[in-house]
Amino acid sequence: MEKGNKEYKPHCLILPFPLQGHINPMLQFSKRLAHKGIRTTMVTTKYLFKTIQESLGSIPVETISDGYDNGGLAEAGSAVAYVEKFLKIGPKTLTDLIERLKNSSDSAVDCIIYDPFIPWGLDVAKKFGLVGAMFFTQSCAVDQIYYYVYKGEIKLPITDNEIRVPGLPVLESSDMPSFIYVYGSYPTGLEVLLNQFQNVEKADWVLVNTFHKLEQEVIDWMAKFWPVKAIGPTIPSMYLDKMLLNDKEYGFSILKPDTDACKEWLHERQTRSVIYVSFGSLAQLQVEQMEELAKGLRMSNKCFLWVVRASEESKLPENFANETSKKGLIVSWCPQLEVLAHDSVGCFITHCGWNSTLEAMSLGIPVVAMPRWSDQCTNAKFVSDIWKTGIRTRADEKGIVRDTEIVRCVELVTDGDEGKEIRMNAIKWKEMAREAVDKGGSSDRNIEEFVSALVNPLS
């Protein structure tokens, strides 16, 4: 069908960086677009496609190559090698894909929604005269911080303990993303994050997985310079108690979730009695930290559901799972949204990855923030001091959060009087997140505007 025809459905390619925390929000966004009449196709790397454990539901998938079709990042051996080769091979294979789709009558591409971890996605879009929409998977605050480093307005290494960035509260150096605060700790990561801005002024849209009320000041500041639109949270609406979309299958998981075991176990627990513990798809805990966490969970005397990825399992204290089997369940991966949406869950010990932060907030779960690295310290700062939906744990001089501190924080957010405000705020933010994505809410209007510009490019 021709462009300009009323029935014409624009076609967007969705290009996430191949990591769980990036694919999840971009997949959910593509479903939201599909619901509004846009054709969307997820583009994954060939290796990732082979490893997908659950279907992407109704969204079609195409593949490109990162140069490591048999093992992805593990095959590359280092992040530097991976990023370099992806940059060499990726644009060519994306170009080939667009050419192929161009030649098939009804699949020609109109727009690429790309993860700025892959800034060349925009260059390819522009080569073909397509709309290029950047999609930030981290918070607007974190994006703003990296941008100020990119511009040279935050000088590294940081020497000041009071950092002022427009649109943000005054931050201490330890509230900065770890790649900045611990300068030199992960140069490749920092380079990827700063390179996000190398061609931002050419982007037709800058979409951010956040919502206006959550990050109002920084969104408004950024929107003075770029076409910024907050479109989140990208939580499937079924988890927000509103069946806005037919998005029953939210599934995409690189790791295989232990869904039945988790659900059965949760069904047998009392309302709000369970501590859910997870550190996302990448973070690694020191052995000592794992031991303290295990001791803390045991000392809390509460039920717990703990996600310990297979690669972390050997760090668990010997026999811990057996000894605590009456109170706890340890799984290697879970359906996190289903868990957070379950009535039995009362709090979330989290690393504060941006998805986990938004998911907890959208489902009204108070959090105990134990940030590990990357953007997580900044997210934890906002959770504890700005949105006040959780408490940030204090580490000792060795950087370890001790068992007693874990118990103190868990008790505070679940039972303590001191935590009453946190629990109330968690409910308040849940309502605001829901309002944003509900029909006519701020994020919904932004998505409508984006869709309408794709459908009527000349108006």
Q: Does 353 bind ligand UDX (CB under 6 A)?
A: yes
Cα(273)–Cα(342) distance, integer angstroms:
11
The alpha carbon of 212 is separated from its chain's Cα centroid by a whole number of angstroms, namely 17
Residues 224-253, interacting with ligand UDX (CB under 6 A) = 253
CA separation, residue 370 to residues 267, 379, 458 (Å): 27, 10, 48
User: Token digits for 448?
Assistant: 């409508």
Cα(135)–Cα(119) distance, integer angstroms:
10
Query: Least distance to ligand UDX from the beta carbon of 101, Å?
Result: 28
Position among 278, 289, 344, 442 found at the interface with ligand UDX (CB under 6 A)? 278
Beta carbon nearer to ligand UDX, 27 or 130: 27
Q: Does 374 bind ligand UDX (CB under 6 A)?
A: yes
Cα(229)–Cα(223) distance, integer angstroms:
8
Q: Is 71 helix (H, G, I), strand (E, B) or coil?
A: coil
Query: Least distance to ligand UDX from the beta carbon of 437, Å?
Result: 16
Place of tokens 């409508």: 448
Q: What is the set of active-site residues?
A: 22, 115
Position among 133, 283, 367, 380 found at the interface with ligand UDX (CB under 6 A)? 283
State the distance between the two ends of the chain, measured CA to CA, in whole angstroms: 19
Q: How many amino acids of this chain bind ligand UDX (CB under 6 A)?
A: 28
H or E stretch at 64:
strand 61-64
Query: Least distance to ligand UDX from the beta carbon of 86, Å?
Result: 17
Span from 52-60, 71-79, 102-110, 370-378 in contact with ligand UDX (CB under 6 A): 370-378
Cα(456)–Cα(459) distance, integer angstroms:
6
- Cα radius of gyration rounded to whole Å, the chain: 22
- 19: closest CA among 58, 41, 47? 47
Position among 62, 66, 375, 405 found at the interface with ligand UDX (CB under 6 A)? 375
Position among 110, 143, 204, 359 found at the interface with ligand UDX (CB under 6 A)? 359
Q: Does 356 bind ligand UDX (CB under 6 A)?
A: yes
Position among 28, 65, 137, 362 found at the interface with ligand UDX (CB under 6 A)? 137
Query: Least distance to ligand UDX from the beta carbon of 179, Å?
Result: 11
Helical residues (DSSP H) of 38-185, grouped into ranges: 46-51, 72-76, 79-103, 120-127, 140-150, 178-181
Q: Does 115 bind ligand UDX (CB under 6 A)?
A: no
Q: Does 282 bind ligand UDX (CB under 6 A)?
A: yes
Query: Which residues lie below 8 Å from residue 52, measured CB to CB, with a gap of 6+?
Result: 44, 252, 253, 254
Beta carbon nearer to ligand UDX, 136 or 450: 136
CA separation, residue 158 to residues 151, 161, 163, 171, 325 (Å): 15, 8, 9, 12, 46
Residues 302-341, interacting with ligand UDX (CB under 6 A) = 307, 333-337
Q: Does 446 bind ligand UDX (CB under 6 A)?
A: no
Position among 355, 362, 384, 446 found at the interface with ligand UDX (CB under 6 A)? 355
Beta carbon nearer to ligand UDX, 30 or 376: 376
The answer to whether residues 142 and 353 touch, using CB atoms and an 8 Å cutoff, is no
Query: Least distance to ligand UDX from the beta carbon of 1, Å?
Result: 35
Query: Least distance to ligand UDX from the beta carbon of 109, Å?
Result: 26
Span from 166-174, 311-319, 369-377, 394-402 in contact with ligand UDX (CB under 6 A): 369-377
What strands lie across the sheet with 345-350, from one edge to the other? 328-331, 303-307, 274-278, 345-350, 367-369, 390-392
Position among 21, 236, 296, 390 found at the interface with ligand UDX (CB under 6 A)? 21
Backbone phi, psi, residue 62, to 5°: -125, 160
Query: Least distance to ligand UDX from the beta carbon of 90, Å?
Result: 19
Cα(197)–Cα(206) distance, integer angstroms:
11
Query: Least distance to ligand UDX from the beta carbon of 353, Å?
Result: 2
Q: Does 280 bind ligand UDX (CB under 6 A)?
A: yes
User: Token digits for 342?
Assistant: 């379950």
Beta carbon nearer to ligand UDX, 41 or 357: 357
Place of tokens 């060795």: 398
Beta carbon nearer to ligand UDX, 93 or 378: 378
Residues that bind ligand UDX (CB under 6 A): 19-22, 24, 137-138, 253, 257, 278, 280-283, 307, 333-337, 353-356, 359, 374-376
